[in-house]
Amino acid sequence: MAMFKDGNHAVLTCHDRTKIVQIRKDRPIFIDKHKIFLDHLIDECDGSYFELKDRHLCKIDTKEAKTLIQPEDTSMDTAGQDNRDLCDEGTANQTLKHDEIEQMKSEGASGQTIISQLVSKSATFEKKTVYSQQKYILIYRAWKPSIRLLCQAYTHDLQKIMYLRRDTLAMLLSLSNVNHESNVGIVESCQGLILASVIQRCAGGNGLVFNLTPAGEHNSTAPCCDFMDFSEDYTSNVYSIPIENVGDTNAVERANQIKPLKEEANEKTLQAQARRQRRLDGLQLFEKTKLNSLIIATKYDSLSILQHLVDYLTLSSHFVIYSQSIQSLLECYQFLKKRGGTIHVEVADSWLREYQVLDERTHPFIRMSGASGYLLSGMIVES
């Protein structure tokens, strides 16, 4: 089973909350305005349970955690059937004062100890349903990052990934026909979520992944790729190249004419030169390569990008364009129909509704994404 190391990223889940964190020794993170140290996650297994104790997440036994989170008897006498008889009477319902809670924190009491005190001093706790009582139990679970968990972490911040839901991402990857032998071109503005998904699918293969960004900078697609902690084996065939230089035959020559610095280069300068050379190598490789898949999911004009890159696709290759609005996809659709040489050109959207299924009650989740954009897909054939 995978182990956490110093410097790795982890996904912390607690109830319906999901947070991506980096494990750094003696460096705190903030969760709900609380300063928390993650030192005890180092050398622990993926999927371990932790509780907050004296500003540290400390590991607890798996059986104990599951007993707290999922009680075997959900029809216990210490729980009410529903919350209809509960009334908000202010401090009368909770006799434990704020000062007493702060004192327990300063004395190093664990989170579970404080919660047990809150429960014992609550006048209405036994009237709450067992599911309401579970919200008082703060047990964290640490996971190795995965594409599914990254989508879950962005659930309450979907604008950062252009409202791309996990079901739409799965549909996009399926329509693009990406595999470990594919040469893939990607233009995206989703924090690197699509790029990370493609890198994971192409791992260990002979294909190439071209990340086309303005000026060839990796910053716009770095977050999700950094969260996944990919090894060199995964990223050796990934090139970030400037999209504005694609098709410019003189771009490499102009770049090579830049005179090297006469002064002695420091480490930062050498790294910058290495990144620049990597971009030039990727640009030369891109001009010699025919793509098997093209994925566009960007905040920029999709039509101009498609017109710029469609000729790099080989026969029987697939293309997918994601957009939050259907209007921009209709423009791409009309362009492809006039151009010819394409089949199965379709516009589709996905629909997802999550349900909470509990004993004697089932209903949709209150907070979920109502729309996740549209997909235009098709295949290149001989015209």
pLDDT in tens, 211-254: 999 876 777 888 999 999 999 999 999 999 999 988 887 776 77
141, containing H or E segment: strand 140-143
DSSP-assigned beta bridge partners for residue 363: 356
Q: Could you read off the pLDDT of 139-187 as tens digits, one per residue?
A: 899 999 999 999 999 988 899 999 999 999 999 999 999 998 999 999 9
Indicate whether 44 pLDDT > 70: yes
Residues in the chain: 383
Nearest in space to 309 (alpha carbons), one of 329, 295, 323, 328: 295
Percent of the chain with pLDDT over 90: 52
Q: Are strands 313-323 and 291-297 parallel, antiparallel or unpaired?
A: parallel
What single-letter amino acid sits at 59?
A: K
What one-character DSSP code corresponds to residue 171?
Answer: H
Please state the pTM of the whole predicted model: 0.85
pLDDT of residue 259: 56
Region of residue 51 (left: phi > 0; alpha: psi -120 to 50; beta: else):
beta
Question: Buried b vs exposed e over 282-316: b needs ≥16 C-beta within 10 Å?
Answer: bbeebbebebbbbbbbbeeebbebbeebbebbeee
Give the residue-averaged pLDDT of 343-348: 96
Average pLDDT, the chain: 85
176 CB contacts (<8 Å, ≥6 apart)? Answer: 184, 293, 294, 295, 318, 319, 320, 377
